[in-house]
A and B are shown apart, each in its own frame.
Chain A
Amino acid sequence: MTQRDIMEFDIVIVGGGPAGLAAAIRLKQLLPDESVCLVEKGSEIGAHIVSGAVIEPRALDELLPDWADRDAPLTTRVTREEMYFLTQRKAFRIPALARVMPHLANHGNFVVSLGDVCRWLAAQAEAMGVEIYPGFAAADVLIENGRVAGIVTGDMGVTRDGAQGPNFAPGMELRGRYTLFAEGCRGSLTKRVMAHFNLRAGVDPQTYGLGIKEVWEIPAERHEPGLVLHSFGWPMDDRTYGGAWLYHFGRNLVSYGFVTGLDYANPWLSPYDEMQRTKLHPVFRPYFEGGRRLIYGARALSEGGLQSLPRLTFPGGALVGDAAGFLNTPKIKGTHTAMKSGMLAAEAVAAAYTADAPEPDTFTDRLQASWLHQELSAARNIRPAFARWGTMRGALYAGIDAAILRGRAPWTLHFRHADHETLRPAAACPPPVYPKPDGTVTFDKLSSVFLSNTNHAEDQPIHLRLRDPALWKPVNWDIYRAPEIRYCPAGVYEVADPDSTPRLTINAQNCVHCKTCDIKDPPQNIDWYTPEGGGGPNYPGGM
């Protein structure tokens, strides 16, 4: 056993996204004298943040009402929005969007770089005394006497074969009376905490999406700041959930991306190629002509909503943000919900702290009483309707649910399958034919990964591990023809010698920490562990 140094805090927060930072700020507002420590595996705050993002400022208004006076990077107001249903060549604009999809009305919202928003939130938090440590991954959770007692940061300087290298620096125990897990979708410690405390008992399986995003700089004459476009339909078939976004913001920047529901069935589907080819549709293509691509990234997101929320608290802490699954899927927004969940959890922790209670269990009641619950409740049936009935009938149901039932349907639709259970055997599915990258609008995967600035120190253990390597050939290859080489948006997985002795190659260095493999692998054989702190993508400003 490595001797570890210990540091004690009142509250430890894992993850420097909107949920973790909002929780940190709220905690300092409520408990100004208590110590709050936040660790972030990215090399800096914002380095691992991927989001659209159109954000609703509701939670921010409550957290820091004077945000506008503090130069918050919310500067592009939504000015115009359109939603398209696509066929391969045509596009149908959804009329009266505000009525049939009221949850999508973006009046008063902002197009932002969420990475920049997080950098700004971190500066606010640090000014209030929150101790923020980027470059330190929370690699393990301390559970003692049935209570989470903090986390252990990852060892640094471990060599590929697991030995201690010349610069070995053991991780530390960061102990807190309360620990908040704000790791985002499919957090690696959240997963362990959920299993240990059986937090998912009695709730629907979580269902996920994979968002793949590019930031482009486009010619000024085609740039319309505040324009928000969404699409559904083509190139997805009716059984596959997914759609594209295109947001104009900042100085001639557009955020383009595509979300693929990870409950897809065809193992030949490649979310990356779907994202690339959608750019070629006449609705989107003109915006890219003459532009240049600047940034690329990907991240899984939780789509299950209210039915899939686990129990949120346990002795010693709580789950917040997308680690718990607070995204509002029909609204395509998770920032305000993540922040609000962080704030509510912070209030519950402050109350527990004052009362010296082990579990911040008032979080659940506070949630019930908040607009966050109302909002998620109203949206709860839409995503499962798509899962159950497909895109066309799902959209129809969504219109009825929103416009007529106003989210108050007396029933709740449930998710029946986890995403790793939905793939059909490769032999039973037609492989889609994707166009070859043209090098101007569409690109190959590796040149995309290059633009994520991802990097991992070379000599370290592979952070993507197969629980049972023997399972890969008979299951992943023989039945599904290695879907991981297609769903991974970073080219981490490759099959060597497919024609003779197929073997899985894991290029862990390419990983952009999206977590899709941990979610979608059919036998749930791939585990995503935290690599050495500071590793992973380095998304720059504007992402």
Chain B
Amino acid sequence: MTALVLLDAEDGTIPQTSRSAIAAAATLGEIDVLVTGGPDTIQAAAASAAKLPGIRKVRTAAGEAFAHGLAEPLAALIVALAPEYDHILAAATAIGKSALPRAAARLDVQIIPDVMDIKDAETFVRPIFAGNALVTLRSSDAKKLLTIRTASFDPVPAEGGNAPIEAVTPPSSAEKSRFLSAEHSSTERPQLEAARVIVSGGRGMQSAEGFKILEPLADKLGAAIGASRVAVDAGFVPNDYQVGQTGKIVAPDLYIACGISGAIQHLAGMKDSKVIVAINKDEDAPIFQVADYGLVGDLFQIVPALTAALE
């Protein structure tokens, strides 16, 4: 069996999300990766991809059409390469989620999104109902197209391999959509839903002023800032900070809950985080029941100390 993994190649580097998708493919036989990009970035991206461990070959497709991850040319390319593969995977990122279902339809295959476990070559586990249930599905399609829930697979290292690079000629197709511009929020804080790290505050922050001590910590971690509903209702922070059942549902790699008691409504919004840290003065707070690491004490001492310790 052979799998093809579509990589997101941003600025010539291979992000962690794509490396998680490669990890997911590991049980599915030999792995080729597909790197696409504009003429000016493709070389660097291909070189980065070639260093990934466990890759049979790197296939590249360059051109203006691929410079911005547009779904139409990507899907057409995947369809063209599909006869050579049993499984085609991508990380469940904006690009993977846009291109793979489109390609799957062209191949008359039912896409399987957000795969969090691969039982065997045709059996997959994925979340439904916002993660409140997990289904195990068996695909009867001759070929499987999957997007990978990246938090469920530890990424392969960025280096260690030396795979050959092979350019493919993309199929020609009429331009259907055109990239105009991108607005990156990189200078500001990341969006809550997209953040890899979230620092979140609750009633224990005591005031809008108190809440501000989370900012240096978030800066240090490149984290988004969230809040519990109590903190929002008390006016410490605006509404769109709210994490929880009625706010945003998040699943970062690291969630640091400061002064949050852990009402179930809040837990419903962040329980899928990979690692949860709780800082609370009440050692009976329910948040400790879900936290991987807990610190009992005054957050007004702990948070600055933690910030300082991350120097």
**Which chain A residues have a beta carbon within 8 Å of chain B's beta carbons?**
444, 446-447, 449-450, 455, 458-459, 496, 505, 507, 509
Contacts and interface: CB of A to CB of B under 8 A. Distances in A.
Nearest to A507: B233
A447 B265 CA distance: 8
B205 to A, nearest CB: 13
A444 B246 contact: no
B246 A447 contact: no
B264 A509 contact: no
15 contacts: A446-B264, A446-B265, A447-B263, A450-B245, A450-B265, A450-B268, A455-B246, A458-B239, A459-B239, A505-B230, A505-B233, A505-B234, A507-B233, A509-B229, A509-B246
A142 to B, nearest CB: 34
Contacts, number: 26
A444 B229 contact: no
Interface in B230-248: 230, 233-234, 239, 245-246
A459 B233 CA distance: 10
B264 A447 contact: yes
A450 B229 CA distance: 14
A383 B265 CA distance: 39
A445 to B, nearest CB: 9
B190 interface: no
A2 to B, nearest CB: 25
Contacts of B230: 505, 507
B286 interface: yes
A11 to B, nearest CB: 37
B233 A444 contact: no
Contacts of A458: 239, 246
Contacts of B246: 455, 458, 509
A450 B286 CA distance: 15
Interface string B196-233: 00000001000000000000000000000000011001
Interface bracket on B? 10 to 19
A449 to B, nearest CB: 8
Nearest to B245: A450
A509 B234 CA distance: 13
A444 B239 contact: no
A537 to B, nearest CB: 14
Contact of A446 (B203, B234, B263): B263
Nearest to B233: A507
Nearest to A436: B284
Interface in B263-278: 263-265, 268
Given A450-B264, A507-B233, A444 B286 contact: yes
A285 to B, nearest CB: 23
**What 6 pairs across the A-B complex have the smallest Cβ distances?**
A447-B264, A446-B263, A450-B264, A446-B264, A450-B265, A455-B246
A167 B309 CA distance: 47
Contacts of B234: 496, 505
A446 B263 CA distance: 6
A449 B245 CA distance: 12
A458 B229 CA distance: 10
A65 B234 CA distance: 54
A505 B268 CA distance: 23
A414 to B, nearest CB: 43
Nearest to A457: B246
Contacts of A496: 203, 234
Contacts of A450: 245, 264-265, 268
A458 B230 CA distance: 12
Contacts of A459: 239
A444 B289 CA distance: 14
Nearest to A444: B286
Given A450-B268, A509-B229, A509-B246, 15 more contacts: A444-B286, A446-B264, A446-B265, A447-B263, A449-B265, A450-B264, A450-B265, A458-B239, A496-B234, A505-B230, A505-B233, A505-B234, A507-B229, A507-B230, A507-B233
Contacts of A444: 286
A486 to B, nearest CB: 18
A455 B244 CA distance: 12
Nearest to B268: A450
Contacts of A455: 246
Most-contacted residue by chain A among B230, B234, B264, B286 (CB, 10 A): B264
Most-contacted residue by chain A among B234, B263, B268 (CB, 10 A): B263
A450 B266 CA distance: 10
A516 to B, nearest CB: 21
A447 B263 CA distance: 7
B245 to A, nearest CB: 7
Nearest to A448: B264
Contacts of B233: 505, 507, 509
A399 B268 CA distance: 50
B159 to A, nearest CB: 46
Contacts of A509: 229, 233, 246
Contacts of A505: 230, 233-234
Nearest to B261: A446
Contacts of A449: 265
A446 B286 CA distance: 11
A87 to B, nearest CB: 30
Contacts of B264: 446-447, 450
B292 to A, nearest CB: 19
A436 to B, nearest CB: 8
B279 to A, nearest CB: 20
A450 B268 CA distance: 10
A450 B263 CA distance: 9
